[in-house]
Every structure is written in structure tokens, then in C-alpha cells.
Amino acid sequence: MRKRSEGYAVPMGRASVIQHTGGRIRAIDGAEWDTHLTRMGIGDTYSCAAYYRASALLEPQGSRPVLLAYADQGGEVALPLLLRPLPDCGGWDATSAYGYGGPVGRGTPDVGAFGRALDAWAVEHGVVSTFLRLNPLLENGPLVPPAADLVNVSSTVAWNISPGRNLRQSLHSDQRRSVRKAERAAVAITVTTRPPNLEHVQKLYEGTMQRRQATDFFFFPSTYWDMLIRDDPVLVPLLVEARLDGRVVSALLCFVSDPWLHAHLSAGDDVARTVGASAACYLAAAEWGQALGLSCFHLGGGLGGSTASPLYAFKQRFDPGSRPRQFLVAKLVHDRARYRQLAGTDATDGFFPPWRRPR
């Protein structure tokens, strides 16, 4: 019998196929990852291989990305995950990459059968639990196995930037004033697809995290920033920068994912807040996306997921009439005995899994 301390390998391809009642599940390596999703009609940033490779750098050493592919007679489900070594090195827990994720599907797969196959694969490979941050644009809650604890956390903002819509006219009066203030201050906005570096946004973002006294997780290593701008056909970064007197005072990093634009990270200094530079960056990104024919600019949610936070109010004012999007998380326990050993409880409420709570 394998000792827990020896850990578990995560085989890929055919060796990893598990046939379960009603369907089969297998792990896919990086070379086939995006090809598989493209065949399913999925091209979203937060599901692609390059984004998961970058996000693995934010997790404990030894974390690795994996795409689980399930198929039955009714359809298919693909589930991108990051596998993280457990604190005692006796297996793994799984999570979505930073941002949004969860399962994507095609056809009408049996979601219950998918859940049972997922459990079987997880137990075989020592994966104790899975935490998913579902994508509000994909509305992929119905693809989550019914045994999961599905929690409605909050809402996010999706700005309708469909071609022909007057984006400036749709702004809340507060945001229109901010944009006019930036224009009067002669703030210069640049929009760059696939920027050569993220030096300015990285510096501003780290300053913002310091002011907010953020946890260590949000101080990203340089390797993460570098990975986001590596040449990749699916991961397409868009950098918007606001300069005042030649100095970058605000920056917004987005991802282009037709028909959507995703706001990933934004930051600004004290000057940016006084001259409306942040609002001007968001509007410039929206107008760029609209000109490209995109239909939605996903701005995300508030600080800590709260719709009562000033950040949520700031985002919602770009399109006050837009429908809030549900942000759900899903918690799955695959190995109850091992979960109880690690967590000291069977409960999944609160921070999940408990051993990942920030200290």
C-alpha cells in the first residue's frame, strides 16, 4: 500500500482514463488542453492552459494545472483545475485558478454521472477536495455535480458594450464627471494589445495592495506577471495606461476573450484618484472592446466579494442599468475520511478547505 507521505502522481492522457457508470473521465496535458476546449466551442481566458500555467505560480510550490475531460452519450464536461500538494504531502486538493472558472460543457451530459466519475478520479489520484469559483458570464452552476455545496457568494458587474451603444451616455453621472476631469487634466490614455512588459501596472498594483494591507497571496511574483504576456493564441492581454505629465498614474490589465473583455487587475496612485484616471482607463478599454465588436466587459465584483464595498459601487456605475451576474462557488469533498482527518470536521461551511485559510 502507498504511504500517504509518498504523495500521488497525476498521470495524463490514456493512462489516466477512468471508465465510470454512464461515462468516462481523463486528465489532459497542456499540449491537448486548448485543442480540446476549442473543439467544444470554448475559448474563454479563464479556462485556457496558459492562464492555468500562470496561476499555478500563485499557489504552493509543486502545484500543477490539469484539465479533466468527461464524456457520456449526452455530451461533455471539461473542468480546469489547479492541484495543490496537501500540507502533509499526502495527496492534493484542487481549486480554480485566480479569477473565475468551473466546468464548461457541450450537449446535455449527465451531471450526476460526471460528479461520480470526478469522485472516482479524485480518490484514485489522492485529491481530497475541490473548490470552484464559477464564471458569472458562463453561468455554469448547472454543470456542478449535485453533491457539491453550491454557495451564492455575491454579484459581479457586466458592462454591456455592444456595438452601437453610447457608452459615455450610459455612464452614471459620477463616472461621467470623473472622465471629464481626466480630460481637463490632459490625462493621456494608451491601449496596448499584448504589451511587451507590465512594469508600470505591477508597481502600481503592489502599491495598492500595500495600502489595503492585503494578504501575501496578492503580492504576485515577477514570474506570474511575465507569464501573462507570453505569446499565446488564447491568452490575450490588453493593457490600458493613464499618464499625467508623462508618468503612469493608473493602469488596467484586461484579457480579450471574444465576445468578452475581462478586467483582471487595476491600480492607481493618489494622483489617479484626484483626476479621474481610473474611470478614464475603464472607459477607454470599453470603447476599444466595442470597436472590436465585443459585447460584454466583465468588471468583476467588490472588495472581498462584497456588493456593499466602494469598489463594487465604482464598477456598477459604468453601466447602472446592467443585470448583476451571480457569483457562485462550489465545494466538493471526494474523500470524506481524509477530509475529516485534515479539517477536523465534516462541515464545508466557511473557508474551504479549512487548511488553506490565510494566516
Region of poorest pLDDT, from 25-29, 130-134, 241-245, 289-293: 25-29
Residue 189 contacts residue 284 (beta carbons within 8 Å): yes
CB 343 within 8 A of CB 356: no
At 29, is the pLDDT very low, low, confident or very high (cuts 50, 70, 90)?
confident
Indicate the class that CATH gives domain 162-294. alpha beta
- The average pLDDT across 281-308 equals 92
pLDDT, one tens digit per residue, over 189-221 is 999 999 999 999 999 999 888 888 888 888 899
* Average pLDDT of every residue of the chain: 92
The whole-angstrom separation of Cα 182 and Cα 224 is 31
- In the prediction, which pLDDT does 309 show? 84
Which are the contacts of 278, defined by CB distance < 8 A and separation ≥ 6?
178, 242, 250, 252, 266, 268, 272, 314
Domain 4-154+328-356 has CATH 3.40.630: yes
Cell of 244: 499625467
* Mean pLDDT on 291-305: 90
- Does pLDDT of 77 surpass 90? yes
Residue 21's Cβ-count burial label (10 Å; 0-12, 13-18, 19+) is: exposed
| pLDDT score for 19 | 65
Q: pLDDT digit string (tens) for 151-175? A: 999 999 999 999 999 999 999 999 9
**In 3D, which of 262, 215, 318 has the Cα closest to residue 99?**
262
Looking at residue 4, its pLDDT comes to: 38
> What per-residue string of b and e applies to 66-93 under the rule 16 or more CB within 10 Å gives b?
bbbbbbbeebbbbbbbbbbbbeeebbbb
Q: Do domains 4-154+328-356 and 162-294 have the same CATH topology?
A: yes
Q: Which residue has the cell 489522492?
A: 126
- 80 close to 65: Cβ distance less than 8 angstroms: yes
Contact 159, 328 (CB under 8 A): no
> pLDDT tier at 303 (50, 70, 90 boundaries)?
confident
Task: Domain ranges for the chain, please list them.
Answer: 4-154+328-356, 162-294
